[in-house]
Amino acid sequence: MSKAKVRAGIVGAGFSASFHLEAARRVFCADVEVVGVHAKTQGSTEGFAVKHGIQAFADLDALLAGIDVLHICVPPALHEAVAVKALARGIFPIVEKPLTGYFGDDAEDFAGRGASMAQARTGALDSIKRMLAAEAQSTARILYAENWVYAPTIQKEREILEKTKGQILWMHGEEAHSGSHAPSYGHWHLAGGGAMIGKGCHPLTAALYLKKVEGRARFGKPIRPATVTARTHALTQLPNFVDIGHIRADYVDIEDFAMTHVTFQDGTIATVFASDIVLGGVHNWLEVCAGNHRTICNLNPSNQLQTYNPVESQFDDIYVVEKIGTKQGWAMTAPDEDFSHGFPQEIEAFYRAAAYGDAVESDSELAADCIATIYSGYVSAANGGIEEPVSLL
């Protein structure tokens, strides 16, 4: 049987657009043609187009006219509008994380830190509702690009849960590094928050996913989040923070540390840490404590490969691992970081959905649960960590 032909476009020409393009070119199930790109400026659009041998589109609508799948690789504040536009045309939007959020009240002097988090939660839930309504009316579906769901470590745990029918009692995990590179990160009106949403969404969604898997395996229906308790801090903004340059510290109105503790519908729990203050490369892991087994999912670093380099400059043109401060000495060098993070696997699954109608594990319900949990987390944090219910949509 010949492979289905799928035409794709990318909106955004930055960091995530590059790894989406790489992954789209590795798709095996379908014959994918990446037609073109549209980004904010003519320069960035054309630069990306020339580098990757695709067309530059000055206008998003012109790009949408000729594609079946749209990779949405722009700041979170734009996700809803672009995804809704794609869905209205029957185009499958692959939406980068976080699905959506609350991006302020349009006031010039809006500041996320100190803003009403009750209002933020209402705004975020309204945004999800609009996206779900657009999906319900479309022939296409939202494909939520949470790569942790497709990471090989998390998928191995899915298999263990399905085959052993284990009960997860507690999960704990983290995503952390020394600061996001994206210029939009640090501004609440573009990113919808700080560490809790920007980084915490990854281990949180993996935890929400595994509890769904457990529920499916044991009862035929997912176990979903019920309440959340959270604390947030802006450590790099403390007046006594000692800035010696290793940690990004120019955040405008976001938190750089978050602890999010979720209680599920069955009373079991997950605790997720997210921060921008951890040196030594990314620290992405999730540990699962079940009644019948225990699993430690090390997404990055992992010790599958370790290198010792006595002279920094020897590795100048060798990629070692994400956000490492130095290539000298011992390193947990990643042999295929994209694969360990689940990027090619998620994009393969999304093209199977677009081309052949397959179900996806990372869908709009999982994405909506994540955003609903996080914004109830922000309400909790604003109230010193009081337990808050999670509104399921």
Q: How far is the CB of 30 from ligand NAD (least distance, A)?
A: 21
Distances (CA, A) of 3 to 29, 32, 110, 351, 356: 7, 9, 49, 11, 10
Q: Does 194 bind ligand NAD (CB under 6 A)?
A: no
Q: Does 280 bind ligand NAD (CB under 6 A)?
A: no
Q: Nearest Cα to 381, choosing from 228, 267, 237?
A: 228
- Of the residues 32, 34, 67, 74, which one makes contact with ligand NAD according to CB under 6 A: 74
Judge whether 212 and 224 are in contact, CB under 8 Å.
yes
Indicate the residue among 18 and 309 with the shorter CB distance to ligand NAD.
Answer: 18
Of all residues in this chain, which one has the CB nearest to ligand NAD in the complex? 14
Size of the site for ligand NAD (CB under 6 A): 22
Q: How far is the CB of 270 from ligand NAD (least distance, A)?
A: 20
Residue 13 identity: A
Q: CA–CA separation, 34 vs 227, rounded Å?
A: 41
- End-to-end CA gap in the chain: 40
Q: How far is the CB of 309 from ligand NAD (least distance, A)?
A: 26
Q: Which residues of 293-304 are buried (b: 16+ CB within 10 A; e: fewer)?
A: eebebbbbbbee
Contacts of 215 (CB under 8 A, 6+ apart): 221, 222, 223, 224
Q: Does 16 bind ligand NAD (CB under 6 A)?
A: yes
Q: Can the peptide bond before residue 98 be classed as cis, meaning omega within 30 degrees of 0?
A: yes
Record the tokens describing residue 313, joined without a space.
């400059």
Q: Does 58 bind ligand NAD (CB under 6 A)?
A: no
Q: CA–CA separation, 105 vs 122, rounded Å?
A: 12
Q: Does 13 bind ligand NAD (CB under 6 A)?
A: yes
Indicate the residue among 47 and 280 with the shorter CB distance to ligand NAD.
Answer: 47
Q: How far is the CB of 202 from ligand NAD (least distance, A)?
A: 7
- Of the residues 3, 26, 40, 130, which one makes contact with ligand NAD according to CB under 6 A: 40
Candidate segments 32-40, 85-93, 212-220, 221-229, binder of ligand NAD by CB under 6 A: 32-40
Q: How far is the CB of 362 from ligand NAD (least distance, A)?
A: 11
Q: Does 100 bind ligand NAD (CB under 6 A)?
A: no
DSSP output for 99-149:
-------S-TT--STTS-HHHHHHHHHHHHHHHHHHHHTSSS--EEE-HHH
Candidate segments 13-21, 115-123, 126-134, 165-173, binder of ligand NAD by CB under 6 A: 13-21
Q: How far is the CB of 171 from ligand NAD (least distance, A)?
A: 19
Indicate the residue among 80 and 96 with the shorter CB distance to ligand NAD.
Answer: 96
Q: Does 228 bind ligand NAD (CB under 6 A)?
A: no
Q: Does 147 bind ligand NAD (CB under 6 A)?
A: yes
Indicate the residue among 14 and 280 with the shorter CB distance to ligand NAD.
Answer: 14
Angle between helices 79-88 and 117-136 (to 10 degrees): 10
Residues in touch with ligand NAD (CB under 6 A): 11-17, 38-40, 44, 73-76, 78, 96-97, 147, 182-184
